[in-house]
Amino acid sequence: MKPAAFEYHAPKTIAEAVALLAEVAPDDGRILAGGQSLVPTMAFRLARPAHLVDINGVDGLDRLYLDGNELSIGACVRHAAFHRPVVDGRLGLLLSSIVRHIAHYPIRQRGTFCGSLAQADPASEWCLTAVTLDGTMTAKSVRGSRTIGAQDFIEGIMTTALAEDELLTEARLPIPPDDTRFGFCEFNRIAGGFAVAMVLAAYGLKDGVITRPRLGVGGVETRPRRIPEAEQALEGRSPGAQAFRAASAAAAGAVDPMEDINTSADYRRDLVATLTLRALESAWS
Amino acid sequence: MNGKHDITLTINGQAYAIRVEARRTLADVIREECGQTGTHLGCEHGVCGTCTVIVDGAPVRSCLMFAVQCDGAKIRTVEGLADGEEPHPLQRAFMEHHALQCGFCTPGFLMLAVGVLEREPDIGDEDLLDILSSNLCRCTGYANIVKAVRAAAAQMRRR
């Protein structure tokens, strides 16, 4: 099918973009960034926005840089920017391994990190990353600018804290301490398919025991979240099979999995157990 | 609402000054306004990869971009691969390795693989497999497509 007619706007600055968005948002105006989710939705006529504000030409939104102890990711930074490590150390390697799970190479040339956050698909790898690593989002509008923590930003399936006149201009990921280890594990049925379940684990080591554990689960509930029960099972324990199994059981017990035509809640729960174990082992190895 | 935009698409080095509605995808405009029908349209929602073209050096799904977004961009399609009568090494490899049957998906596979090999000539076999998983072939020709792309990659590295 073909998208329905819309009016196209191509602002050059953030100020122009938010002014345009404020004007057209009440008339079903939307932001167009990478378009890799929006355009297919329009092709199916599930979305028929009357206006699109294309931010691809907006100055400065393609910036990806280290700002002190945070990685700043502008609204137009493509997934493909992460194919090679964008920062030294384990975080850059982690992001380059996660990005390979996002759709396919040509999609990653257009789709954006911030677009994934704004789309808030429960199976989004970047939503899980932002939530697990305590990312923050900057939303701008003619009314001003505000910063929103990832867990508050993602409210549910395809639902975010963004008001209709707000533009997500930037996401920030704090750089974890150097000794932080990461493990990411995702299950899906076909290459490039949506995650049926995925787990991101991070922890440091102090005096031989696990410290600062983070265990995030995505694709399982309506939004990604950290699982405190699993983190408690890791804190202060020696890394190894015993602690990892305890965390895996705790994670599986704590989630309230979604069901769909192919996947029962029990199956997703089993996946959480297995993926948690694998993510923790992969962080350790 | 139905305002049209005057844009110029540069396809395989040739400029096309055209007037299009914003809702028209790059894929449709390449085929209809610019008459370059080598680019095929399969699913029209970004899944099959048949419409893959190279925009400013990056292989992308042309059904997931609006033509108006490509004003001034350099676009390459399958028509631009051959050098006169001489096929591109990848086109020749596709012939030699029987990498096509019906040929519908072929332009997309060619532009995907050329786009990647030009940027990453030393890409490993495993990464290449991952990249070729981007596109669909329904004649079950993947094994030969992989063979052809590997052979062309080796030849392109030698040149």
Q: Quick one: B9 and B74 in the same domain? A: yes
- Which tokens is B156 given? 């392109």
Res B2 pLDDT > 70: no
Mutation site for A-interface testing, chosen from B134, B142, B146 by largest number of A Cβ within 10 Å: B134
Res B1 pLDDT > 60: no
Closest CB to B45: pick one of A43, A100, A105: A43
Residue of chain A minimizing CA distance to B60: A106
- 8 A C-beta contact, residue A260 and residue A268: no
Closest CB to B134: pick one of A35, A44, A106: A106
A28 at interface of B, judged by CB pairs closer than 8 A: no
Q: Which residue has the tokens 């040149």?
A: B159
Average pLDDT, chain B: 95
For A124-161, the pLDDT digits (tens) are 999 999 999 999 999 999 999 999 999 999 999 999 99
Q: By percentage, how much of chain B surpasses pLDDT 90?
A: 92
Q: What pLDDT sits at residue A109?
A: 98
B72 at interface of A, judged by CB pairs closer than 8 A: no
Closest CB to B23: pick one of A5, A191, A192: A5
Residue B132: give its domain's CATH number. Answer: 1.10.150.120
Res B60 pLDDT > 60: yes
Domain extent, residue B114, equals: 89-158
Q: Quick one: B67 and B129 in the same domain? A: no
Rounded to an integer, the average pLDDT of A246-261 is 97
Q: Quick one: B8 and B71 in the same domain? A: yes
Q: Write down which residue in B45, B80, B115 finishes a domain.
A: B80
Mutation site for A-interface testing, chosen from B21, B55, B69, B135 by largest number of A Cβ within 10 Å: B69
Q: Write down which residue in B47, B80, B113 finishes a domain.
A: B80
Q: Quick one: B70 and B117 in the same domain? A: no
Calculate Rg over the CA atoms of chain A: 19
Q: Quick one: B41 and B70 in the same domain? A: yes
Say if the Cβ atoms of B22 and A4 lie within 8 Å. no
Say if the Cβ atoms of B134 and A107 lie within 8 Å. yes
Q: Quick one: B112 and B63 in the same domain? A: no
Say if the Cβ atoms of B22 and A109 lie within 8 Å. no
The edge-to-edge listing of strands for the beta sheet with A29-32 is A7-9, A51-54, A29-32
Chain B residues inside the 8 Å CB shell of A43 = 25, 44-45, 63
Chain B residues inside the 8 Å CB shell of A2 = 23-25, 28, 44
Bridge partners of B14, per DSSP, are: B11
Chain A, window 85-104: residues with a beta carbon less than 8 angstroms from a chain B beta carbon: 100, 104
Average pLDDT, chain A: 97
Measured at the alpha carbon of residue B47, what is the angle toward residues B66 and A82, in degrees to the nearest 5? Answer: 80
Q: Quick one: B116 and B151 in the same domain? A: yes
d(CA A151, CA A248): 22
- Amino acid residing at A21: L
Res A285 pLDDT > 90: no
Q: Quick one: B96 and B149 in the same domain? A: yes
Domains of chain A: 7-54 (3.30.43.10), 64-174 (3.30.465.10), 181-284 (3.30.390.50)
Q: Quick one: B102 and B140 in the same domain? A: yes
A189 at interface of B, judged by CB pairs closer than 8 A: no
Higher pLDDT, A164 or B125: A164
Residue B44: give its domain's CATH number. Answer: 3.10.20.30
Measured at the alpha carbon of residue B132, what is the angle toward residues A263 and B27, in degrees to the nearest 5? Answer: 95
The ipTM value here is: 0.96
Q: Quick one: B99 and B143 in the same domain? A: yes
A192 at interface of B, judged by CB pairs closer than 8 A: yes
- What's the total number of domains in chain B? 2
Say if the Cβ atoms of B52 and A106 lie within 8 Å. yes
| CA-based nearest distance A60→chain B, Å | 18
What is the reported pTM? Answer: 0.97
Q: Quick one: B57 and B117 in the same domain? A: no
For A64-121, the pLDDT digits (tens) are 999 999 999 999 999 999 999 999 999 999 999 999 999 999 999 999 999 999 999 9
CB neighbour list of residue A173: distance below 8 Å, 6 or more residues apart: A70, A71, A73, A91, A129, A130, A133, A135
Q: Write down which residue in B28, B52, B80 finishes a domain.
A: B80
A193 at interface of B, judged by CB pairs closer than 8 A: no
Task: Say whether A201 sits in a helix, a strand or coil.
Answer: strand
The edge-to-edge listing of strands for the beta sheet with B14-21 is B14-21, B4-11, B74-76, B52-55, B58-61
Say if the Cβ atoms of B58 and A80 lie within 8 Å. yes
Chain A residues inside the 8 Å CB shell of B1 = 5-7, 50
Q: Quick one: B71 and B119 in the same domain? A: no
Residue A220 is classified by DSSP as S
Say if the Cβ atoms of A105 and B134 lie within 8 Å. yes
